[in-house]
Amino acid sequence: MLQNELKELGITGALATHLGVDAQLTREEVYRVVYGSRIASRVLRPLAEFECPDDETLYENARELNWAAIVRPGQTFKVSATVADSNMTHSQFAALRLKDAIVDVIRDERGERPDVDKDDPDVRLNLFIHRDKAVISLYYSSGVMHKRGYRGAAVEAPLKENLAAAMLRLAKWDPFEKGEPLRDFFCGSGTLLLEAAMLATHTPGGWFRARQGFEALPDYDAETWQRVKAEFDAKIIPLKPGLIGGADIDAQAVISARANFKRTPWAASVSVGLADFRKLDGDYTGSVIVTNPPYGVRVGADGETPDAKSVAAIHKLYEDFGYFLKMRCPGARVCMLFPDPKFEKDIWFKPVRGMFLDNGAISVRANVYQVLAAKPKSE
Ligand SMILES: C[S@@+](CC[C@H](N)C(=O)[O-])C[C@H]1O[C@@H](n2cnc3c(N)ncnc32)[C@H](O)[C@@H]1O
């Protein structure tokens, strides 16, 4: 999916791997991806790759890099690390050793230590150790790209923004030529509706961000960035009122979704209602419904696995939703997230396509269904 999105952003020759997409990019192309992508999580440039059986090897190899040219005077930095199937087992310790190497190299060169900033660093480094092979990379995005900048206080179980964007692609929603209405009846904080608004208005994924990660890097080219930004921004169009709408049974969720929309240009064009979907009596014929009903996994008290009673309640909710789709949404196309395959059979329809996606620590299934159109009444 990301490979296809990159093609649309003008990137050719990108190769999908099991961890992401590899591509050789010019600086301008990097700016296009960081600003334009709604699917990518992060854009990383590998700086060094080496065998890494222990922390001493990590430290020594990391010391070879010219850190003083990457973290410049007055700049702060942060290291994040992931370790898997390796001799080194603690990612925090691995991150600490890389941080030590960076600090030591810079102190030796400049006589002063650079500061670490855990919340809003200028320069971010990523260390990935898999099967004792280390890759040190530099972030060109400002950390994880799903943090768009429109979200206020989080509600329970919000969907990751890039996952919401992926669901909209999976649904093949067409807001342009066909002008298909989009609905989310379990909208929570409105992530799917907000991502839908971005898609329907050609708003780049990085549009809300105050600054992009690459702006603090030594190879930053302000002129190229301004050109890329102007080219993307010129394509933004207004949101058609009524095209996108949603509801939720929880008042707090509705308040949060509306507050999120207030941070965007689309608050007046999108309606978010307070309702139990079972009581909705509108006609949603031919809509595209993209939604993630309650998980069960996260709705249990304090994030615990729910008890059998609430599992039964979720089965019932999926069943009721299937009935609602059949009665109220003839001809609709539905993209739904399932936390657990056991709920899939509660929906009355057979999926036309689907894929597994990671939502934080939970692996979830997104399925697309086609609801049958209502039969014309015989004369
Ligand atoms: C997993 S959350 C959705 C999260 C949302 N996609 C987001 O990004 O914030 C599921 C939502 O379904 C809502 N919900 C549960 N039962 C409902 C019902 N019968 N009708 C409408 N909404 C319901 C919950 O209040 C919750 O906000």
Please tell me the predicted confidence (pLDDT) of residue 306. 57
Q: What is the gyration radius of the CA atoms in the chain, in angstroms?
A: 23
Class of domain 161-205+218-370: alpha beta
Asked whether 224 and 30 are in contact (CB, 8 A), the reply is no
Token pair for 215: 């702006």
From the CB of 294, is ligand 1 less than 6 Å away?
Answer: yes
Distance 247 CA to ligand 1 centre (A): 8
From the CB of 321, is ligand 1 less than 6 Å away?
Answer: no
Query: H or E segment at 21?
Result: strand 21-22
Query: Which stretches of the chain drop beneath a pLDDT of 70?
Result: 153-156, 296-309, 376-379
From the CB of 191, is ligand 1 less than 6 Å away?
Answer: yes
> Structure pTM?
0.93
* Amino acid letter, 124: R
Distance 299 CA to ligand 1 centre (A): 10
- 64-78 pLDDT, tens per residue? 999 999 999 999 999
Token pair for 61: 């190899």
Distance 366 CA to ligand 1 centre (A): 16
Q: In the chain, where are the structural domains located?
A: 2-139, 161-205+218-370
Distance 207 CA to ligand 1 centre (A): 27
Nearest to 36 by CA among 181, 180, 165: 165
Query: Does CATH number 3.30.2130.30 belong to domain 2-139?
Result: yes
Please tell me the predicted confidence (pLDDT) of residue 152. 82
From the CB of 296, is ligand 1 less than 6 Å away?
Answer: no
SS3 label, residue 8: helix
The dihedral formed by the CA atoms of 143, 146, 150 and 153, expressed in degrees to the nearest 10: -90
User: What are the residues whose beta carbons fall under 8 Å from the beta carbon of 98, sequence distance 6 or more?
Assistant: 58, 59, 62, 79, 81, 125, 127, 136
Nearest to 229 by CA among 216, 217, 214, 239: 214
By most ligand atoms within 8 Å of CB, the mutation choice from 162, 248, 316 for ligand 1 is 248
Please tell me the predicted confidence (pLDDT) of residue 66. 97
By most ligand atoms within 8 Å of CB, the mutation choice from 161, 194, 249, 310 for ligand 1 is 249
Nearest to 183 by CA among 374, 359, 333: 333
